[in-house]
Structure 1
Amino acid sequence: MTTEQTAPADPIPAQASVAPAPAPGRTRGRRTLLFLRDVVVIVLVAVVVSLVIKTFFVRSFYIPSASMEDTLRIDDRILVDEITPRFGGYDRGDVVVFRDPGGWLPPVVQEPRPPLVEAWDWVLSLVGLAAPDSQDHLIKRVIGLPGDHVVCCNAIGQVEVNGVPIDESGYLKLQPGKPAPEVKTYDVTVPTGSLWVLGDNRDRSQDSRYHTEEPGKGFVPIDNVVGRAFLITWPVAHLGSIDFHHDAFAGIPDPASDSADPSAP
């Protein structure tokens, strides 16, 4: 007697669960949020990069006065190299931006502005597109380095550095009918860690010559120097590099080693 075995029935395949398709409105909303997130991240990265560049590499300033004409004119916007001078120092002829050493600038009373304007100006300053502190800084040309003996003037009105007269005809602005700037005599030796600076528009520049009675004796501490101005960015008609006229100072010898600090015995 045989027993007939019945083959087991095939298992019923489980039905795959299918998630409902998201509504078109939800998809568009999610894409919009992702896009806005990416925009915010890009903006934040750009602000951080700009802030680092402004803090350590390059800053923007505008020219508030006529003291450096015709090299720089009122309201010109310039870029200032902050990092190169930290490694290579400064040279005679460099155009430098520096904080007030004390008593060079009159007190400035800031008119109150709407909070929205203040906030916008602050944002622009973070990325280097605005320079609200330009009024607190000065810009001049370096004439004397530490240890230099600077004298004004010789018989024909030239400034002398370490006994050598400087031909400043390449950058000095002369007033109509005047063959040379007004002479203001001085005889100084630049101390260690300082600079002697003059404006190119000498008859309109309150520079080192006019502050010899101040505590700093007219010298600018190198620690006060923000950096070397190198480029005019605005207006477009003035766009271009700033000429340092280093050739005018090429024949000046190094200062005597015992004159590097006039307070030294």
Structure 2
Amino acid sequence: MAVRRLRVEGVLQGIGITVGLLGLIGGFVLLAVQYRPYSVPTDSMAPTVQPGDTVLAHPVKGSQIGRGDVIVFSDPLWGTSAMVKRVIGVGGDTVACCDSAGRTTVNGQPVSESYVNTSSTSAVLLGDKVFSAKVPAGRLFLMGDNRSVSLDSRSHLEITEGTIPESEVKARVEGTVWPLSTARSISRTTAFDALPGPRATAHGPLAALEWTVVGGAALVLLSAAAGTVVGQLRRRSSQRARSS
């Protein structure tokens, strides 16, 4: 009977470790296939992305991007490295600053952006500069969430209305992975949903994959620990039986 119980416990432990490893390894593989890491050195996207964060971004075409998406892009007129900004306007839009409440407008409609950093005490607020830009077809108007310090489309208005070509888009940011203390998913915004035209796009399976990896690792550890605890309890029981 004891042998049978030992075999059942061993089989259950083996199943738990196997399933956990499949989740852990499979989740990592899918993350590596579907996402690319990018380091963000500045605070132009704070508080959504903090300086020093490493983000995970899903490769997409610029034509698939909508207003409100946070993207990774590279434009030689802006610099030599990849940058992270939020799409505010797409081809055909008129982006302007600002209405009486200080909100950016798109095609005359004010947009309430809850993610914008409003805590800055900078003396010169780029977010308060009056401007109006007509976005050419096939191009995107970008702004950082930390409007007071972000060097974005507003800083390049003299060149194609400050926009970048859709072809320069590398990926859509969906979460942060490092440091681990701040790792999280970045939710799709609904700020632009009332406007006709391309909205922020649906995100990929990042959150599910992260939970798969975490759950797999936890299952491996718990299964291994359970086997160790059961073995110790069995040895103590056998020792007491012999001593009695």
Report the TM range for the smaller structure's normalisation.
0.5 to 0.7
Given the alignment of the two structures, is residue 235 of structure 1 paired with residue 179 of structure 2, yes or no?
A: yes
2:161 to 217, 229, 243: 217
Task: Provide the rounded CA distance (Å) in 1 between the counterparts of 2:75 and 2:147.
Answer: 18
Task: Provide the rounded CA distance (Å) in 2 between the counterparts of 1:69 and 1:211.
Answer: 21
Per-residue deviation at 1:253? 2.5
Does the 8 A contact of 1:162 with 1:253 survive in 2? no
3-state SS of paired residue (2:47) = coil
Per-residue deviation at 1:162? 1.5
2:35 matched residue in structure 1: 58
Q: 1:144 to 1:61 in 2, by over 3 A?
A: same
Given the alignment of the two structures, is residue 185 of structure 1 paired with residue 160 of structure 2, yes or no?
A: no
Does the 8 A contact of 2:96 with 2:106 survive in 1? yes
2:193 to 226, 240, 250: 250
Task: Provide the rounded CA distance (Å) in 2 between the counterparts of 1:221 and 1:92.
Answer: 15
Cα deviation, 1:207-255, whole Å, max 9, x if unaligned, reads 00010123x431011111101011211111111111231x111111249
Does the 8 A contact of 1:151 with 1:187 survive in 2? yes
Does the 8 A contact of 1:60 with 1:78 survive in 2? yes
3-state SS of paired residue (1:209) = helix
Larger Rg: 1
Does the 8 A contact of 2:133 with 2:161 survive in 1? no
Per-residue deviation at 1:182? 3.8
Per-residue deviation at 1:177? 5.9
TM-score normalised by structure 1 residue count: 0.58
Q: What pairs with 1:33-182 in structure 2 (closer than 5 Å)?
A: 57-82=34-59, 85-86=60-61, 89-102=64-77, 104-105=78-79, 136-168=81-113, 170-176=114-120, 182=127
Does the 8 A contact of 1:149 with 1:161 survive in 2? yes
Per-residue deviation at 1:184? 1.4
Specify every segment of 5 or more residues in structure 2 that has no aligned partner in the other structure, as ranges. Answer: 1-28, 199-244
Q: 1:137 to 1:177 in 2, by over 3 A?
A: closer
Q: 1:156 to 1:80 in 2, by over 3 A?
A: same
Q: What pairs with 1:194-213 in structure 2 (closer than 5 Å)?
A: 194-213=139-158
3-state SS of paired residue (1:204) = coil
Calculate the aligned-residue CA RMSD, in Å. 2.8
3-state SS of paired residue (1:227) = strand
Bigger share in helix: 2
Task: Provide the rounded CA distance (Å) in 1 between the counterparts of 2:97 and 2:46.
Answer: 21
Per-residue deviation at 1:144? 0.4
Number of equivalences: 170
3-state SS of paired residue (1:223) = helix
Task: Provide the rounded CA distance (Å) in 1 between the counterparts of 2:35 and 2:172.
Answer: 10
Cα deviation, 1:13-68, whole Å, max 9, x if unaligned, reads xxxxxxxxxxxxxxxxxxxxxxxxxxxxxxxxxxxxx8xx97x8432111110000
Code of the aligned partner of 1:76: D
Per-residue deviation at 1:166? 0.3
Higher RCO (CA < 8 A, seq sep 6+):
2
TM-score normalised by structure 2 residue count: 0.62
Code of the aligned partner of 2:119: Q
Cα deviation, 1:131-190, whole Å, max 9, x if unaligned, reads xxxxx111100100111111111122111111210001x101123568x97411221121
